[in-house]
């Protein structure tokens, strides 16, 4: 009993040899849905092994904090507010009403009677009448003043900046809400994965590509909106899936899901008054840009790079696969040739819609529910005799005669033309 007591009072560490701990089993989880290996993989950056039952998230690629996409959204909203400030519907409507005396058929009186939407609450930010702008926004003349895309001003007046400014403008509240929600859902995910520099470059160049194709096919229309840039992001997601094919687990499921989303969005473009050529141009530009900007290194190269103490197993892995480099070169050549050809044709005043008899179906398919008449261009031919003003809308062919008290008032003529063409 005394010997047993003395043994008990001694420290346990002096009598026992500690057992060597067994390595814990790790379950590797690749970042992103359906991406990465299915089994254990080397840990990126080293670090202590997790305890039994813990999950270690394997992140071979850097995660970025998304700030550029929210900044783009804020810029679009700020420009829309600025557009409504310049539009100033109540002031322009009052100037037009003061200049109109009477009219043949009473059309001028009806035009003057149109009130601005939410004028008591919004003041000068009030929207144009719903009949004139069903998207709840400004006039086409204001959008053109702010930098909307019109082929004539780009080709004849050399206002190339409109190819860029038009992607930051929107025709109404409904238009900007739909585009900005889509940008947040698509753009933030891509910026987290690839960073602000790649996504910002892809967004702007895709938007210019959409504007370029729209200018070649929609010669007689005014175009605004970020839809071309948004479709560029969708196109880049498809090319990113193709060029990084080996790092996806559920390849076919991811491909089919993405293709269905793209087809549904392109199908919406066949509705009337939707510029589907901007969608197609942005999508094609983003698709080829994805091969250039969104290429990932292969996992074998990353595993060797992050191995402990620089010990590599097997032969050194190349950073990119051969098919990735081939796709990059082909896409870059197609992009450069396509943009150069488009700019040259636009400078020469080329009208692609006259050279392709069926291409208009890509933007609008007529049905029993709607026709595909071109959207009003809001340009009128005018002739004046005394106080009588004759206006003919170029896009619809409508002709009306007005009696105005101030024949030299440009605001009156502009609003009468907008009413005639709407």
Burial class (CB in 10 A: 0-12, 13-18, 19+), 48: exposed
Q: What is the crossing angle of helices 173-194 and 68-87, to 10°? A: 160
Q: Is 273 a catalytic residue?
A: no
Exactly one of 211, 279, 419, 422 is catalytic; name it: 279
Give the global pTM: 0.74
Most confidently modeled range among 3-7, 186-190, 329-333: 329-333
Q: What is the mean pLDDT of residues 290-304?
A: 80
Q: Alpha helices, DSSP H only, in 251-393?
A: 251-268, 276-293, 299-305, 322-347, 352-355
Cα–Cα dist 418/420, whole Å? 5
Contacts for 22 with CB less than 8 Å, ≥ 6 apart: none
CA–CA separation, 315 and 305 (whole Å):
12
Catalytic residue check, 279: yes
* CATH 1.20.1540.10, the chain: domain bounds: 67-299+319-363
pLDDT at 22: 52
By 3-state DSSP, what share of the chain in percent is helix, strand and coil, each rounded to 5? 55, 10, 35
Query: DSSP 3-state assignment of 56?
Result: strand
First to last CA, the chain: 109
In this structure, are residues 263 and 229 in contact, taking their beta carbons and an 8 Å threshold? no
CATH of 67-299+319-363, one of 3.40.140.10, 1.20.1540.10, 3.30.70.3270, 3.40.50.720: 1.20.1540.10
For 101-149, what is each residue's pLDDT tens digit? 544 344 444 444 457 888 888 889 999 888 778 888 998 889 999 999 9
Q: Looking at residues 160-169, what average pLDDT do you find?
A: 94
Question: Distance between CA atoms of 236 and 242, rounded to whole angstroms?
Answer: 10
Could you read off the pLDDT of 62-109 as tens digits, one per residue?
A: 788 999 999 999 999 999 999 999 998 888 877 777 666 544 344 444
- In terms of pLDDT, which residue wins out, 5 or 354? 354
- Catalytic pick among 206, 214, 223, 227: 227
Alpha helix ranges (H) inside 299-383: 299-305, 322-347, 352-355
The mean pLDDT value for 248-274 works out to 80
Q: What distances in angstroms separate CA 378 from CA 16, 140, 142, 280, one per listed residue?
A: 94, 7, 11, 25
Both tokens of residue 181? Answer: 């929600």
């Amino acid at each position: 009993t005394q010997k047993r007591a003395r043994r008990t009072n001694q420290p346990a560490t002096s009598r026992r040899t500690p057992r060597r701990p067994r390595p814990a089993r790790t379950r590797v989880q690749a970042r992103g849905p359906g991406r990465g290996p299915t089994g254990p993989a080397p840990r990126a950056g080293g670090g202590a092994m997790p305890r039994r039952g813990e999950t270690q998230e394997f992140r071979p690629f850097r995660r970025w904090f998304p700030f550029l996409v929210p900044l783009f959204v804020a810029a679009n909203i700020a420009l829309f507010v600025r557009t409504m400030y310049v539009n100033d519907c109540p002031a322009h409507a009052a100037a037009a009403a003061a200049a109109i005396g009477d009219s043949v058929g009473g059309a001028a009186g009806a035009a003057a009677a149109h009130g601005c939407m939410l004028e008591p609450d919004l003041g000068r930010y009030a929207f144009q009448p719903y009949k004139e702008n069903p998207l709840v926004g400004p006039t086409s003349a204001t959008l053109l003043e702010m930098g909307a895309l019109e082929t004539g001003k780009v080709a004849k007046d050399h206002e190339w900046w409109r190819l860029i400014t038009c992607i930051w403008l929107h025709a109404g509240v409904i238009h900007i809400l739909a585009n900005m929600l889509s940008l947040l859902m698509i753009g933030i995910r891509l910026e987290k994965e690839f960073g602000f520099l790649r996504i910002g470059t892809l967004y702007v160049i895709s938007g210019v590509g959409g504007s370029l194709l729209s200018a070649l096919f929609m010669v007689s229309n005014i175009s605004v909106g970020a839809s071309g840039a948004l479709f560029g992001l969708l196109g880049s997601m498809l090319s990113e899936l193709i060029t990084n094919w080996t790092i996806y687990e559920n390849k076919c499921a991811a491909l089919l899901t993405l293709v269905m989303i793209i087809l549904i969005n392109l199908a919406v473009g066949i509705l009337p008054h939707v510029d589907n050529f901007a969608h197609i141009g942005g999508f094609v530009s983003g698709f080829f840009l994805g091969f250039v900007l969104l290429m990932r290194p292969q996992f074998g190269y990353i595993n060797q790079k992050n191995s402990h103490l620089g010990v590599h197993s097997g032969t050194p892995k190349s950073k990119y696969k051969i098919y990735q480099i081939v796709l990059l070169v082909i896409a870059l050549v197609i992009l450069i040739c396509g943009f150069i050809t488009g700019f040259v044709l636009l400078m020469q005043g080329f009208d692609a819609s006259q050279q392709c008899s069926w291409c208009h179906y890509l933007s609008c398919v007529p049905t029993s529910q709607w026709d595909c008449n071109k959207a009003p261009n809001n340009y009128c031919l005018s002739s004046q005799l005394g106080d009588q003003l004759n206006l003919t809308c170029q896009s619809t062919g409508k002709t009306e005669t007005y009696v105005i008290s101030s024949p030299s008032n440009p605001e009156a003529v502009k609003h009468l033309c907008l009413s005639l063409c709407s």
